[in-house]
A and B are shown apart, each in its own frame.
Chain A
Amino acid sequence: MYGQPEQEDFTMFKHYLITAWRNLIKNGLFSGINIFGLAIGLMSCILILLFVRNESGYDQWFEGSEQVVRLHSGFHMPNRPPFDTVRSSGRMMEAIKAFASNEVQSGARVVQQGLSVQKGTDVYPQDVSMVDGSFLDIFPLDFIEGSLETSFKRPMDMLITRDLAIKYFGRTDVVGETLTLCCVASNPVTLPVSGVIQNLPENTHLNTDLLVYMQPRIFADSPNILESWGSLNVYTYFKLRQGATVEQLQERVNYWLNNESPFKKMYEDNVGELPSGMQISDHVKLRIMPVSDIHLHAKAHAGSMGDLTPLGDYNMIVTFVVVAALILLIACINFMNLATARASQRAREVAMRKVLGASRRQIALQFLGESVMLVIIALLFALAAVELILPFYSQLLGRELHLNLLGDLSLLATLLGLAIMVGVGAGIYPALFLSGYKPAQVLTSTKGAESSGSGKLRIALVIFQFAISVVLIIATLIVYGQTRYSTNIDVGYRYDNKLILNVFYAQDRLDALKQELEKLPQVKQVVYTSDAPTQDRENNRGYKLLASSDGKAGQPDAQMLNYYSTDYGFFNAYEIEPVAGRVFDPAYGSDKVIRPETLGQDISNASAIINQSAARRFGFNDPQQAIGRTLEVSLYENQIHHLTIIGVVPDVHFRSIKFSIRPSIYLLREDRFNNANIVFSGHDIPTLMQQVEQIWKKVVPMQPIYLDFLSEMMAAQYAEQATTAKLFGAFSLLAIVVACLGLYGLAAFTAERRTREIGIRKVMGAEVSDIVRLLVWQFSKPVMLAILLGWPVGILLMRHWLQDFPYRLDNWWFIPVCVLAGLLSLLVAWFTVGGNATRVARRNPVHSLRHE
């Protein structure tokens, strides 16, 4: 007896399922549009969801990860663009560990170096993480061979991951085997493998597959790595004590910075007296960030140099989550609109069911069931589409994303929950609307029981959909335009026909290399520099303008300038003409900065070229005034150099225009050369590349070659932005497609309802074109209104977005962009409605007039 009601429920359920299915089949257009639209909306959501899950799960893979933080640094000096980095100086770790011993349990530094591994005659580029022994206390790695106790105890102990062991040895039991690294402190070293660890997961910010227990002595010749306060070359991690918070440590660090650290003295030496009311922590930033925040939030601290692995972009993720939700919303609106638009078709069914005793609740549930069923079918299509698109999507984003529903029950549950939410969300209004019909009204009237209210709501929703589309089109165009603007801006020099060869590991062979390279028929010129465009480091020093011998005043305070080292011929090669004075010239013989034999003795002399920003900083309104003046600087420990300004060059965009131009100085300092700028002519690029590689192999046999086209390096600066533009374009397109699907359906249903009227008009002499115009115009009004609404929103949003770019599109660009976005939406709407309208208008009116 107890089974009875359930039995009945089940029969009812089955009955509803069957009716739902039949309705689905019967209303092909309605079902098709909704399934397709919802599938696109769900697909967008799933794609974004996968990305978000991947991005937000970083660095939580190890025990105690919530207690691990990293120290980020920044110099925010007066009158200079701020300099930020996720790295820190080598002495910071010990100092903070000692001062904040109540908060910090342990600390470790990582010196990340791009070295090479030599196997036989092959040379492989290899990133090497030199770490303090305490690194493994902070990041507990799993050992496959060896153990924490035995394998990482002595300096120069070396761990490699499983993948690396297989790459270099073809197996994993390789403890005792050796690898030759090149180069550690300018010398190749051969180290035995002391342990093999499990591969690190994909979602970590660490780029660690080869670790070496750091022997501080090996950096004795490069004191700026471990022994410096001001050079930011290491990554510093701390593990907090149980109960200590990030905020406590941050407070402690700030206290240390303002009261105990050597930065106050450094500031006074380099910049001058600290203005009253200011603290050191206003200028020097030491910021503590939990490692699990690094991937999504470190971008704000990372400046121009990035991190160990490419960082995620929190703002971009939020943006795309919103966009995906909007696409789904548009699809839901389609469902609501179409369901109510064809309501009159189903009014009779509802009335009959009510006459036969169905309650309003039962009918509402029936309609809800239908919409959930539709959404679940759409979900299946969406999953299939995601499966197809995922490889391309992963590639575009540079992430490895997987869809594994069965192995990931939380994802499955999320998706099912989403489907039901969408089904109910989209179905609730039509369900209430349809179930509210009064049987008597419907069965006695011959016309559809359509209220004008639901018609108005439909139009309002169409306006909303198209307003979103217009905003998305504007956003896409502006992102695209800004990317074009960035790549096409006049950087102030020629970057075509140049190859950049990294010569960091060929310091002792620069002359031989240059000689060989310049013998090549296609090579016009080889110039050494510290930095090539796009890859510049922050190199700051204080330069003090001295009074001139003829009585012109100097400046009391030093100015912080960024400095580049360039060889003779640099300005020539890049076609940068000085605006005053001359460029470096061997004929003068006095331009070079030379490291004196003994330090701290006499003052040394050399020449300097400054850019116009620097000239202004020194108070020269006319660049000519700078020529012949002297700057004082300390380039080698306590050694004083006097630099004579021999030329002023224009401000050029040496790095991405995401950053503004800094006051800069160019010195001819050979011990800083890292790059060969190879200027070539001719078109046989493959041969040229081959020849350069051969020369490299001959001159520097131990090192892998790093050779790039400058033009490609320039383009790569904007690759991320270009990806954003592409994604935006794709998602906007999807949004518009879904909106148009809805419009198409709505137009089709409306035209269906108006067939008699259309017939009458045709009999009255209307031509096909008149009818098409009538139907198209009906939907042009809401779309135009949507455009008017979308414009201000799009303009506001995108002006905000552009704020982040120091060099950006002019405001007048919004005019063509808005006009284009408007025209595009209108045209798309016309096409959508027009095709169907033409079909309807061509119909012979006789039929519709007779069968009314």
Chain B
Amino acid sequence: MLTLNHVCKSFQTQDVETLALNNVTFDISRGEFVAIMGPSGCGKSTLLNIIGMLDTPNSGDYYFMNENVATYNETQLARIRKKHIGFIFQNFNLIDELTVAENIELALLYHGISEQERKHKVADVMDKVGIAHRAGHRPSQLSGGQQQRVAVARAVVGNQSMILADEPTGNLDSSHGEEVMKMLEALNDEGTTIVMVTHSPEHAQFARRTINLFDGQVITQNVRAA
């Protein structure tokens, strides 16, 4: 699915240069469920953003579906991103002014799909994650778990083949967290590639492989026995 080769990323703030990713190399194959762990500030989110093409590396190569996207410009990246990648965030990132259904539809809005088909797909995915009865509500009227389910629905409604989740359970209590993990597991079973950042060793257990980051470097990779 994707390969990172000697990827480096640094941030320049005032006089300080932070090396957020230092020579990161690994690959992820289609249908994998990978967890990324590490202490705060070690570069997990940065790594996920690069994988999700929200950011570009300073050096190194990034092959996504056999294309080197490290040098692509913003518009090119946006096109690949919207076709293949869905995102889930710790703080849900739903738009308060839109209803649940409209928030989900947003992920289809930029795909050139007819309105009728969009409505159809949104209805399907809401059924799947069990929030159909909340379609007309505003995000602020839902519980955290429900909001995250909306976010999951939004991430998969466009049939994205890969989901990037940055601490999807970080803001949820344990039962809601468990719920979301089950949902991700189900999606993985259907063939969706999942890359998830988490602080919870428990939730990392859902993944087949765990990548441990420290100070921007990959230190270990554990593969869970099947």
Contacts and interface: CB of A to CB of B under 8 A. Distances in A.
A773 to B, nearest CB: 11
B54 A760 contact: no
Contacts of A273: none
A766 B109 contact: yes
A768 B74 contact: yes
Interface in A742-784: 756-757, 759-768, 770
B87 interface: yes
A757 to B, nearest CB: 5
A506 B79 CA distance: 87
A462 B160 CA distance: 42
Nearest to B164: A763
A765 B110 contact: yes
Given A760-B106, A764-B106, A844 B54 contact: yes
A447 B55 CA distance: 28
Interface stretch (B89-97, B188-196, B200-208): B89-97
Given A766-B109, A770-B110, A846 B78 contact: no
A846 B89 CA distance: 11
Contact of A765 (B55, B82, B95, B97): B82
Contacts of A122: none
Interface in A214-260: none
B6 interface: no
Contacts of B94: 760
A844 B52 CA distance: 12
B95 A766 contact: no
A283 to B, nearest CB: 73
Interface residues of A, number: 21
A757 B74 contact: no
Interface string B69-110: 000001100110111000101010111110000000011011
Nearest to B154: A764
Interface string A629-651: 00000000000000000000000
A797 interface: no
A766 B91 contact: no
Nearest to A850: B45
Interface in A834-850: 842, 844-846, 849-850
A852 B106 CA distance: 20
A763 B54 contact: yes
B111 interface: yes
B75 A764 contact: no
Nearest to A762: B78
B78 A765 contact: yes
Contacts of A768: 74-75, 78
Contacts of A757: 95, 97
Contact of A842 (B55, B74, B91): B74
Nearest to A447: B96
A764 B113 CA distance: 14
A204 B190 CA distance: 94
Contacts of A766: 78, 82, 109-110
A766 B95 CA distance: 14
SS of A interface (majority): helix
Contacts of B93: 756, 759-760, 763, 849, 852
Interface string A717-752: 000000000000000000000000000000000000
Nearest to B52: A763
B49 interface: yes
B110 A763 contact: no
A760 to B, nearest CB: 5
Nearest to B157: A764
B87 A763 contact: yes
Nearest to A767: B78
Interface residues of B, number: 27
A760 B55 contact: no
A846 B55 contact: yes
Contacts of B107: 764-765
B200 to A, nearest CB: 19
A761 B106 contact: yes
A447 B111 CA distance: 31
Nearest to B94: A760
B80 to A, nearest CB: 10
The winner among A760, A770, A844, A846 for most chain B CB atoms within 10 A is A760
Contacts of B54: 762-763, 844-846
Given A764-B82, A765-B78, A849 B106 contact: no
B13 to A, nearest CB: 12
A849 to B, nearest CB: 6
Contacts of A767: 74-75, 78-79, 110
Interface in A279-306: none
A447 B83 CA distance: 33
Contacts of A849: 89, 91, 93
Nearest to A758: B95
A174 to B, nearest CB: 80
Contacts of B96: 447
B207 to A, nearest CB: 22
A765 B78 CA distance: 6
Contacts of A760: 93-95, 106
Interface string A577-590: 00000000000000
A842 to B, nearest CB: 7
A760 B158 CA distance: 15
Given A768-B74, A842-B74, A852 B91 contact: yes
Nearest to B83: A765
Contacts of A846: 45, 49, 54-55
Contacts of B45: 846, 850
A603 B106 CA distance: 100
Contacts of A844: 54-55
Interface of A: 447, 756-757, 759-768, 770, 842, 844-846, 849-850, 852
28 contacts: A447-B96, A756-B95, A757-B97, A760-B93, A760-B106, A761-B109, A762-B78, A763-B81, A763-B87, A764-B107, A765-B79, A765-B81, A765-B83, A765-B107, A765-B110, A765-B111, A766-B78, A766-B82, A766-B110, A767-B74, A767-B75, A768-B74, A768-B78, A770-B110, A846-B54, A849-B89, A849-B93, A850-B45
Q: Which 9 A-B pairs have CB atoms at the shortest separation, nearest pair first?
A: A765-B82, A765-B110, A764-B107, A767-B78, A766-B110, A846-B54, A764-B106, A757-B95, A760-B93
Given A447-B96, A757-B95, A763-B87, 6 more contacts: A763-B54, A765-B81, A766-B82, A770-B110, A842-B74, A844-B54
